[in-house]
Amino acid sequence: MDAELFWLKVRPLFEPTGEDCGTEYDETRACPKCGFGARQVGPLHLDLKKVPKRDIAKTLGGEIVVSARLAEEMKAADIRGYELGPVVSRQGKPTPHWYQLLLPECMVELAPRTEVGHSFFAPEPDKAQVKRFDVEVAHLV
């Protein structure tokens, strides 16, 4: 079965984020207010002792990691539409136990009544963005 869009809600969440551990980002096209849109330009650096002992988890910064076991199962099941990136310690030492789950960017068409905002905890709709349906500018759908 093929799907154009698959929503994956990942739990548990953990910290510190990749950025806090030394992951580098290109922020030339990022939002100047919040950093949304920054592109990761190297391997994901993490405090490996803080990664939950689960097959999948996400940092508070949104980086998703999967265990080597889950990565192998996904490959065996012929799941497509993702890539696996390396995970390294804060000091840059690669780990064979974890991979970063890299998902492609996609554009979605929003219904006219979709509201967007700038704050996850207290959304304040930006009516100019609602009319344009520009998810990259609005940040939160």
Round to whole Å and give the CA distance between 88 and 23.
9
Round to whole Å and give the CA distance between 138 and 141.
7
pTM above 0.85, yes or no: no
Q: What is the pLDDT of residues 85-137, one digit of tens each?
A: 999 999 999 999 999 999 887 666 767 776 665 555 555 555 544 444 444 44
pLDDT score, position 30: 83
Which residues are registered as beta bridge partners of 65?
57, 100
